[in-house]
Structure 1
Amino acid sequence: MTATSSGIDVHTLEEAVRRATRAPSIHNTQPWRWRVEPGRIELHADADRRLVATDPDGRDLLVSCGAALEYLRVALAGVGAGSTTQRFPDPEQRDHLATVTVVDGHTMLDDENLYAQLDRRRSDRRPYDAGAPAQLVRALARRARALGADLVAVEGQARDRLIRALDDAATGQPHRPGYLAELLAWTHRYAGARDGVPATAVPKAGPGGDARHLQRFPTGSLPHRTALGPDAGTLCVVTTAGDDRLDRLRAGEAVAAVLLAATAAGYATCPLSQALELTTTRTRVQAAAGAIGYPQLLLRIGRPAENCGPVPETPRRAVSHLLF
């Protein structure tokens, strides 16, 4: 094994990449590639895995890669490695999103504590029995701000307007050319595939009263206690001051930090991107959140229903297939 200047060998860096791939991504496409060298790791976007119809402006891809970048930082902290991150280091290589360099020095204890959540976090698409308390939301918002984004909880009548925007996106997006083909491709993967959204990660169909914004994917086999709605989870919008590629990448980093911290606190989470993939509903999300900045992703946070069981682990590609 080759050791770095900080004593972290390349095998350990590759293991950190493996844990980083547990990050959430749009349709579990895992749209990233990595280069591991002594003392550094490069993150690259995999443009071949961009969902052209679902994600026409590439927002979802960059947010997904940003989440993997934050997972990587936490994974390194978990093995006692400090790190620095240079985002978009080479303007001539648009797909080279970041270079993470291992440095000497102590890591933040809190980051080390989040290390245990990397393999525990799941996207729980079932309805929640209760939302997140205000104290937790404030703590999660502080984490988002530390990474260059804001987390805005939407409540009251604004929450009703936000749900209507989510439902309208769920109704309108299937009419976009190519959208249903992409959805089918990533929810009905070929045998042995290590990506996509399996039926075991999607709730069964409930009786009446289902909420459309909770039903992006075809009916699955994940058991739940009640119908898919109404949902009592807290709806939050992750926003950034700008809307360029760096803003979207940093939003993904903030999303990952929030999801890991919420998991550590015992709460279920689920990212919601559908309303931000259509221009008409994206502006309504911004208005409902009262946000001055730009919405990059929605998060649902809450207490899962009792006696409905855990969400199974979703598949991930082998690291050997992701390395340059």
Structure 2
Amino acid sequence: MDALIPDTDVVRTAVDLACRAPSVHNSQPWQWRYDAGRLDLYADPTRLLVAADPRGRQLLISCGAALHHLTVAMTSLRWRTHVRLLPDPLAPRLVASVTFSRDARPQSHDFDLLAAIRRRRTDRTPFEPLPVNPLLPELLRTAAGTDATLTVLGEDTRPALAAATEMSSAVRRYDASYQAELHWWAGHGFDTEGIPDTALASRAERERVPVGRAFPDSHAVVSAEPGPSDQSTVMLLSTPGDSPTDWIRCGEAMSAVTLEATVQRLATCPLTHLTDIERSRDTIRALAPGAGVPQLLLRVGTSTHPAPLNITPRRPVAQVLTFG
């Protein structure tokens, strides 16, 4: 064992936690390689959603979220991470190279964030409002420590957000490739990937969430009674530009905010699709002038579920991590 670099067991544990990060359609579009103290994160082009994400923007947001999850895990394991984004212009698939030093001093909140990695779920059902306490300022402070801007969109923006949602859905409604891709990833019983039926909203629930992606209806749970419409707080994550680096940074910020929200016992649902269609992106941009380039929306609120949502599947670490 070399005390100056993490051993393989530490790296395996951290990557396992990193791969709990949210990714578009739970596609988990990443590969990791560890050698001589350096951990490389690669984008996996075989998991690119060609119809939904032709530019690879959502893929790199997903990789950024996994990268931030990794730093949280390694901090709790008492290793400080040193990250270089897109370090090799000749290797565009190489998202980041990470090295480590043995000088991390985790605080109690770092262990709260570590526990949140296991507890966090993407909840596509309607939310109750945020409780009246300092939780919202805490989320804003979390985002302030990233390279993205978090903007809280007020109630008066709901009609415009609903219009952007409908606009995005209308563009995709008769896109056969998009619909085939969506139905492949969502609602199936895959053991290691995709969105299981139990993680989708029922038709009644989906109709009460005016700002969301139009996934297939869940048949696992049927709402007995119609309930109130979604009362979540909608937030916007923006970046200074619209480059691959910005996309990765946005993913890191999304991870930071969703983990902090999970620590605070809040429900979250990231939405990356509304900013892929230029017209809906322009609508959202007008709601937060000066905030930068809109990258994703985040619904945050109080869950209406009496018990935690089921865990969604993940690929075994052996499939995504190699050594040597």
Using the size of structure 2 for normalisation, the TM-score is: 0.92
Counterpart check, 1:261 vs 2:227: no
Instruction: Give the letter for the 1:318 counterpart.
Output: P
Greater shift, 194-203 or 167-176, is seen at: 167-176
- State the partner residue of 1:232: 231
Q: Choose which of 189, 193, 199 in structure 2 pairs with 1:195.
A: 193
Q: Is the 8 A contact 1:3 1:10 kept in 2?
A: no
- State the partner residue of 1:27: 25
Q: CA deviation at 1:39?
A: 2.2
- In the alignment, the residues of structure 1 paired with residue 89 and residue 206 of structure 2 have an alpha-carbon distance, to the nearest angstrom, of 52
Q: 1:76 to 1:232 in 2, by over 3 A?
A: same
Q: Is the 8 A contact 1:132 1:233 kept in 2?
A: no
Greater shift, 69-78 or 150-159, is seen at: 150-159
Q: CA deviation at 1:100?
A: 1.2
- State the partner residue of 1:77: 75
Greater shift, 27-36 or 102-111, is seen at: 102-111
Greater shift, 213-222 or 155-164, is seen at: 213-222
- In the alignment, the residues of structure 1 paired with residue 103 and residue 30 of structure 2 have an alpha-carbon distance, to the nearest angstrom, of 28
CA deviations over 1:163-186 (Å, ceiling 9, x no partner): 221232223322335100110111
- In the alignment, the residues of structure 2 paired with residue 208 and residue 88 of structure 1 have an alpha-carbon distance, to the nearest angstrom, of 38
- State the partner residue of 1:242: 241
- In the alignment, the residues of structure 2 paired with residue 306 and residue 192 of structure 1 have an alpha-carbon distance, to the nearest angstrom, of 24
Using the size of structure 1 for normalisation, the TM-score is: 0.92
- In the alignment, the residues of structure 2 paired with residue 215 and residue 258 of structure 1 have an alpha-carbon distance, to the nearest angstrom, of 20
Q: Is the 8 A contact 1:211 1:228 kept in 2?
A: no
Q: 1:306 to 1:49 in 2, by over 3 A?
A: closer
Counterpart check, 1:300 vs 2:302: no
- In the alignment, the residues of structure 2 paired with residue 132 and residue 63 of structure 1 have an alpha-carbon distance, to the nearest angstrom, of 29
Q: CA deviation at 1:314?
A: 0.2
CA deviations over 1:184-223 (Å, ceiling 9, x no partner): 111254x654100000101222289534544621111246
RMSD: 2.1
Q: 1:208 to 1:14 in 2, by over 3 A?
A: closer
- In the alignment, the residues of structure 2 paired with residue 228 and residue 322 of structure 1 have an alpha-carbon distance, to the nearest angstrom, of 41
Give the paired residue count: 320
Q: 1:259 to 1:223 in 2, by over 3 A?
A: farther
Structure 1 alignment gaps of length 5 or more: none
Q: Is the 8 A contact 1:239 1:291 kept in 2?
A: no
CA deviations over 1:106-138 (Å, ceiling 9, x no partner): 244233331111110000111011136573223
- In the alignment, the residues of structure 1 paired with residue 118 and residue 224 of structure 2 have an alpha-carbon distance, to the nearest angstrom, of 25
Q: Is the 8 A contact 1:211 1:229 kept in 2?
A: no
Q: 1:226 to 1:287 in 2, by over 3 A?
A: farther
